[in-house]
Structure formats: C-alpha cells, structure tokens
C-alpha cells in the first residue's frame, strides 16, 4: 500500500537537524534503515542522502492507527514521518551526527514498500561485487558510495570552476568519430545510413582538441567520456572519463603551471589536502633507474642502485654474465631487514619470477651468528668482491641487500615490483601521504618486439625534444619526447605532451612509425590537412578523472567512484548489456551475425 505525499513537504534532510531544532514540528522523508519494537515503542531509523535520524512512535502520542502502521515498517520502506524534534537526553547515540535528538512521530506515511533486499544496505559489505552491480541502484544507497558519488560531483564542479577562471572554454566533441591514436582497440558503431561502415567511439578527444586549437579557441577543456576496448585490468573500465585539456602557444612549463594550480585547487576544495607546489619533476630515465617504474611511488625510499660496474668481473657468473651480455645488475638496500626470514625472501623471489625474472639474489649483511653474511651467492665471490659490493650499496650490518641481474628493462621491472612489495610489507607507506611527481622526458618511441617496429610511446602527435631531433634517423630510440605524466603515490593520474605543429616533423614521425602516406591520410588526413592552414604551437594533458576521484575518496577501485560501472568482462550486470538485438535491426544495418565464427572463437578462448 503506497501512500502519496500530498499535503506534506519535507522540512530538511535527515542529518540536517540538530539540537537547535528541539521543539519544532518537522517532516522527514527517507528509507527505513531499521525499525524495531522495544517495550511498546517503535524506533525507526530514517535514512536519506545526508544520513540518519531516529524516529520514535509511541501509541499515546501518534494514536493507534499510526502506531499500527509503524509496526509494519521493514527495511528500505520509503516513508515520511511528521513529528516533533526532541532531545534524547542521556540516551545519545555517538555513531550518528543526529545522535542527541529524535523525532517524536505524530504521523507516518508509507510512500512505498520494499521487498526483502538481495543484500542489506550497510556501510561495510561482504556481498560479492557481481551481485552488488546487478542491483547497483541499491548498492548506491550505501553511505560510502553516496559519499564517493558526491565527492565526484564536487570534483567535477571544482575542475570546471578552475578551468573557467583560467580562460578555458568547455567544448563538447562528438562521440561518433573516426579511430583515434591512443593505441587501444576501438569500440565500433555500425552506420545504418552508410551500411558496412562504422564510427569509432573516441579513445580520447585527442585529434578534435588539436583541431580546436587550429580553430583558435586558445584553451579548451572537457570532462570527456572515452572508450577503449581493452582487457580490463584492476583499475580499467571500457568507458571512463578524462579531464581533458589543450592549450595554444604553450610549452611544457605552461601546461605544468596550469595543472599545478588545478591540482592545488581541487585537492583543497574536495578533500582539504594541501598540495605542495612546485611538484617535483623527475625524468623518465631517473624514474626507471631509481624506482624501476615510470610511475614511482615516492612515499618511501628503497631506491634501486646499479652495481654493474662493481660486479662485472666478480666470480658469481649470474652477475658477471648479465653485464657481459649487455645487461645490468641492480640492487636495493633494505635497512635493518637482515633478519628477514627465508620464507619472506623467497616470496620476494616469487615476485621477481611473476614479472619475468629468474628470482633475486640476497645478502644479509653480518646476519649470521658469527657475524659473517648470510647470502645466496657470496660463496661464489671472494671476500673482497663481497665487501666491495656491500660498500657500493652503502650496506651496513643488519641490512638486507637484494639483487636482480639480466636485461636492463627486465631488471628494472623486477626490482621496481620487489620495491613496491617491500614498501607494502614493511609498512613503509604512510597513509595520508600525497606524493606527486611529474615524470618528464619520456622516450619518443618504444620498440615493440611483437610488431618488430617502433611505436609512439605517447601518441604520434607528440613533439620530440628539439635537442634530440638530430638522432631521429641514426638512433630513434634516443630521441626524447616533450611528454609528461603526473603521478600520485605510484599511479599515473594523467599525461600529455607538447604536440608537433610542423608538417615536416610530423611527416618524419609518421614515417618512423611505419605509416605510409596513404594510411596516414586515411586515418587522420583531416588533421594533416588542417595543419596546412596556420596551426599554433599547442600542448595538452588529460587526467583519468575516475582515478583522481578514486584517490580522493580513498577507494580501492575506480568502480567505487562510478555510478554504474561494468564488470571485469565489460558487461553491465544490471541492464544485461551487451545483448542480442532484433534481426530486423541488424538487417537495417546490413549486418549478419556469424554464429559459426562466434562458436569457433569461443572454443579458442576456452581451449586457450
């Protein structure tokens, strides 16, 4: 039995009342968090987006009809309660902001009833995510998600205000476009009008925002929805939002200045955190060498040292061979951890193996009872070699030294991940620490073994550093890009670059990336054409807004800051998307689903 709210007007939201309201008659509306009959009184917690207020029904005050109705209340009934705010006296509930007051009800309307829920609406949940996402509208009633979504809204508004104050225009760009160059797989939309042809959903508004610079808009931004058809890793979603921007007549420092201002503003406004400016800058090379990652977590030390020159002639063949074969030997000094149990050291080796290494070599300085070292490899080295290695790592008695040897790239990845594991396991990461860093001077290209060619590390429109352009033919791998990433606590929040605005450099770049003139023209001829008509130097950046919100909310996953995220298999459990469509819809599009091909590819997947 659902009643109307005719004649009633909500006074305020539940948690917006305080002891200042005592004595006032009010109307609150919301959901029943819980309702119980205790000693002839019905206590009902009413919850809305602001929080909870306790209602209390006593037959002598509200009359038998209302009292009887209150007795029927169950979790998540949607109700309106009219009554007088009164003090709870000594009976304060410290858990609630309204814990010192309650509404002494005189009237009750059941606006709508609720079936028994598939899971309870409570802050902490043990319900598995698949079920929560199927009933996302209920999941979203949980206070932490209410808070996250509100925070995200605050973030969006804060960004908009800052950008507007700094001369940026918010310009929308279309979502039915042609493939963009971010390097992931496109989502395609078939055209009915042009049968057999497809739009691609934007992986980012990259080319369009560059065209807006050609159009003379000077500064653009957009909270842009982007689509990438990738296998979903932990914090990826097929569709996500970028805080996207582009600036004309701008170089690296201009972009960084605007964005430091933005970061300072949004972190202060949304979560009251002071971002210290200027944000540290680190070259890609330094990040890779010292932290084994282009998104270093600077909340703790444990930097990586290169000991190749120290061990290149030592007796331990693994070290010796690695250097002889053009690789490196690098290590991490873990102060005071020389007593680490073997099991834990072995676990570090497992981390190394997970990332493709052969394991780690360790040395516990002076850890044996007689004061000698415990180690997996010093038996192959002379005492002098061992002591020289310890000295080159700055090792002291009681320290643990771990090493990896092999190809430089692999050694970096392995030690970068061993470092992260150590940071977490040893509790070195201080909560509430915000370590921002700009990573600069990325390589322009990265070599793809798979494709046997150079690929753009950022995208093909990223400008090279002027001083490196001379190596474009002789040693393309040496050319650095005017690209930058903003990293927070070991995650990339965003990235961007200065763009190429000179036709000859763009041509050369495309040639190096293996584009024929035809293919370049086919894919982004419109951009190359536009660049013939007076293109301003320009640069830009885009943040993964979901990740920014995730950090601000202290959430574990970007799904927790999205209203309706998708499952790991990119499906929407609530709506049941993707879904089959009517034959007629397909034939209008000139599309026929190839059931045989689907079966074959499904079989391949299960076999593989």
d(CA 302, CA 423): 8
> CA 320, CA 507: separation in Å to the nearest integer?
44
Instruction: Tell the smallest beta-carbon distance from residue 412 to ligand ASP (Å).
Output: 23
Of the candidate spans 381-389, 398-406, 473-481, 537-545, the one that interacts with ligand ASP by CB under 6 A turns out to be: 537-545
Q: How far apart are CA 443 and CA 457, in angstroms?
A: 7
Choice between 206 and 417, CB closer to ligand ASP: 206
Q: Is 51 in the site for ligand ASP (CB under 6 A)?
A: no
Cβ partners under 8 Å of residue 395, min gap 6:
333, 363, 365, 401
Q: Which lies closer to ligand ASP via its Cβ, residue 204 or residue 506?
A: 204
> Which residues, in sequence order, are bridge partners of residue 387?
none
Total residues found in the chain within this entry: 608
Least distance from C-beta 260 to ligand ASP, angstroms? Answer: 16
DSSP-assigned states of every residue in 580-608: ---HHHHHHHT----HHHHHHHHHHHHH-
Per CB under 6 A, the segment of 57-65, 320-328, 538-546, 592-600 that binds ligand ASP is 538-546
3-state secondary structure of 10: coil
If we measure between CA atoms, which residue out of 416, 439, 421 comes closest to residue 304? 416
Nearer to ligand ASP, 224 or 329 (CB): 224
Restricted to residues 310-349, the positions that interact with ligand ASP (CB under 6 A) are none
Beta strands in 272-319, from DSSP E residues, in sequence order? 280-283, 304-306
Piece of the chain touching ligand ASP by CB under 6 A; list 161-169, 298-306, 374-382, 534-542: 534-542
Residue 212 CB, nearest approach to ligand ASP (Å): 12
Minimum CB distance to ligand ASP, residue 206 (Å): 4
What is the residue whose two structure tokens read 């993964």? 544
Among 540, 548, 553, 560, the residue binding ligand ASP under the rule CB under 6 A is 540
- What sections of 357-473 are H helices per DSSP? 383-392, 408-425
Contact yes or no for 455/514 (Cβ under 8 A): no
Query: Quick one: CA dihedral 447, 449, 452, 456, positive or negative?
Result: negative
Measure the CA–CA gap between 100 and 556, rounded to whole angstroms.
33
Tell the smallest beta-carbon distance from residue 236 to ligand ASP (Å).
13
Nearer of residues 73 and 224 to ligand ASP, judged by Cβ: 224
Pick 16 or 492: Cβ nearer ligand ASP:
492
Give the C-alpha separation, 528 to 506, whole Å. 9
Q: Minimal distance in Å, beta carbon 53 to ligand ASP?
A: 45
- Is 13 or 281 the residue whose CB approaches ligand ASP more closely? 281
Q: Name which of 46 and 541 has its Cβ closer to ligand ASP.
A: 541
For CA atoms 473, 528, 535, 203, the dihedral sign is: negative
- Say which residues have a Cβ less than 8 Å from residue 233's Cβ, sequence separation at least 6: none
**Residue 542 binds ligand ASP (CB under 6 A):** yes
The footprint of ligand ASP on residues 228-287 (CB under 6 A) is none
Give min distance, CB of 443 to ligand ASP, in A.
16
Residues numbered 68-127 forming contacts with ligand ASP, rule: CB under 6 A: none
Size of the site for ligand ASP (CB under 6 A): 9
Q: What is the number of the residue whose Cβ is closest to ligand ASP?
A: 204
Measured from the CB atom, the residue of 51 and 495 that comes closer to ligand ASP is: 495
Segment near ligand ASP (CB under 6 A); pick from 24-32, 85-93, 442-450, 536-544: 536-544
Cα–Cα distance between 141 and 462 in angstroms, integer? 44
Alpha carbons 46 and 63: distance in angstroms, whole number: 20
| Strands 483-488 vs 436-440: parallel, antiparallel or unpaired | antiparallel
Three-state DSSP at 146 gives: helix
* Cβ pair 198, 187 in contact under 8 A: no
Nearer to ligand ASP by C-beta: 206 or 440? 206
Nearer to ligand ASP, 212 or 348 (CB): 212
Element (H, E) at 550: helix 545-553
Contact between 386 and ligand ASP per CB under 6 A: no
What beta strand segments (E) does 88-172 contain? 101-112, 169-170
Q: Quick check: 173 and 215 in contact, CB under 8 A? A: no
Nearer Cβ to ligand ASP (221/377): 221
Show the site string, 127-166: x = touches ligand ASP by CB under 6 A, - = not. Answer: ----------------------------------------
For residue 567, list its beta bridge partners. none
Question: x/- contact string, 169-198, with ligand ASP (CB under 6 A)?
Answer: -------------x----------------
SS3 annotation, 504-545? HHHHHHHHHCCCCHHHHHHHHHHHHHHCCCCCCCEEEEEEEH
For residue 417, the minimal CB distance to ligand ASP (Å) is: 24
Find the binding residues for ligand ASP in span 488-507 (CB under 6 A). 495-497
Query: Minimum CB separation from ligand ASP for residue 605, in Å?
Result: 29
User: Which one among 206, 328, 337, 386 touches ligand ASP, defined by CB under 6 A?
Assistant: 206
Of residues 292 and 540, the one with the C-beta less far from ligand ASP: 540
CB of 177 to ligand ASP, least distance (A): 13
204 vs 413 by CB, closer to ligand ASP: 204
Residues in contact with ligand ASP by CB under 6 A are: 182, 204, 206, 495-497, 540-542
């Amino acid at each position: 039995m659902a009643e109307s709210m005719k004649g009633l007007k909500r006074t305020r939201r539940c948690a917006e009342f305080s002891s200042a309201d005592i004595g006032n008659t009010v109307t609150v509306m919301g959901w029943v968090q819980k309702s119980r009959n205790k000693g002839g009184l019905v206590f009902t917690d009413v919850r809305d987006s602001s929080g909870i207020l306790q209602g209390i029904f006593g037959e002598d005050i509200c009359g038998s009809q209302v009292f009887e109705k209150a007795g029927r209340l169950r979790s998540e009934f949607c109700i309106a309660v009219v009554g007088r705010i009164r003090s709870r006296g000594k009976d304060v509930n410290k858990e609630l902001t309204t814990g010192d007051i309650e509404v002494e009800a005189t009237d009750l309307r059941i606006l709508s009833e609720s079936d028994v829920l598939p899971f309870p609406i409570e802050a902490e949940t043990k319900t598995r995510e698949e079920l929560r996402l199927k009933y996302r509208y209920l999941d979203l009633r949980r206070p932490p998600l209410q808070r996250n979504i509100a925070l995200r809204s605050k973030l969006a508004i804060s960004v908009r205000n800052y950008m507007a104050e700094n001369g940026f225009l918010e310009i929308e760009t279309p979502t039915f476009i042609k493939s963009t160059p971010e390097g992931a797989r496109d989502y395609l939309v078939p055209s009915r009008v042009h049968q057999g042809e497809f739009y691609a959903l934007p992986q980012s508004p990259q080319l369009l925002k560059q065209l807006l610079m050609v159009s003379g808009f000077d500064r653009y931004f957009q909270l842009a929805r982007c689509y990438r058809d990738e296998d979903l890793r932990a914090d990826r979603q097929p569709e996500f939002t970028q805080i996207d921007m582009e600036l004309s007549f701008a170089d690296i420092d201009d972009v960084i200045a605007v964005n430091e201002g933005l970061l300072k503003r949004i972190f202060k406004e949304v979560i009251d955190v002071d971002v210290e400016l200027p944000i540290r800058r680190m070259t890609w090379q330094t990040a890779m060498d010292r932290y084994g990652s282009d998104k270093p977590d600077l909340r703790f030390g444990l930097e990586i040292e290169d000991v190749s020159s120290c061990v290149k002639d030592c007796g331990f063949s693994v070290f010796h061979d690695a250097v002889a074969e053009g690789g490196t030997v690098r290590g991490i000094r873990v102060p005071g951890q020389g007593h680490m149990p073997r099991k834990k050291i072995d676990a570090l080796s497992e981390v190394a193996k997970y990332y493709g290494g052969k394991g780690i070599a360790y040395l516990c300085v002076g850890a044996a009872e007689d004061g000698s070292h415990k180690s997996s490899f010093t038996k192959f080295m002379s005492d002098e070699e061992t002591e020289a290695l310890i000295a080159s790592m700055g090792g002291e008695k009681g320290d643990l030294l771990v090493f990896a040897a092999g190809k430089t790239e692999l050694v970096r990845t392995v030690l970068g991940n061993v470092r992260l594991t150590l940071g977490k396991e040893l509790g070195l990461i201080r909560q509430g620490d915000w370590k921002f860093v700009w990573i600069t001077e990325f390589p322009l290209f990265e070599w793809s073994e798979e494709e046997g060619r150079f690929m753009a590390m950022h995208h093909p429109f990223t400008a090279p550093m002027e001083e490196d352009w001379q190596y474009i033919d002789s040693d393309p791998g040496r050319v650095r890009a005017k690209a930058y990433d903003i990293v927070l606590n070991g995650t990339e929040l965003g990235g961007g670059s200065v763009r190429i605005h000179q036709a000859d450099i763009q041509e050369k770049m495309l040639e190096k990336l293996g584009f024929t003139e035809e293919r370049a023209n086919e894919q982004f001829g419109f951009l190359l054409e536009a660049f013939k008509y007076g293109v301003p130097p320009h640069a830009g950046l885009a943040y993964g807004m979901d990740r920014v919100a995730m950090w601000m909310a202290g959430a574990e996953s970007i799904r927790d800051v999205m209203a309706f995220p998708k499952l790991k298999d990119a499906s929407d459990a609530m709506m049941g998307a993707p879904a089959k469509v009517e034959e007629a819809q397909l034939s209008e599009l000139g599309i026929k689903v190839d059931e045989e091909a689907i079966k074959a590819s499904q079989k391949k997947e299960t076999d593989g």
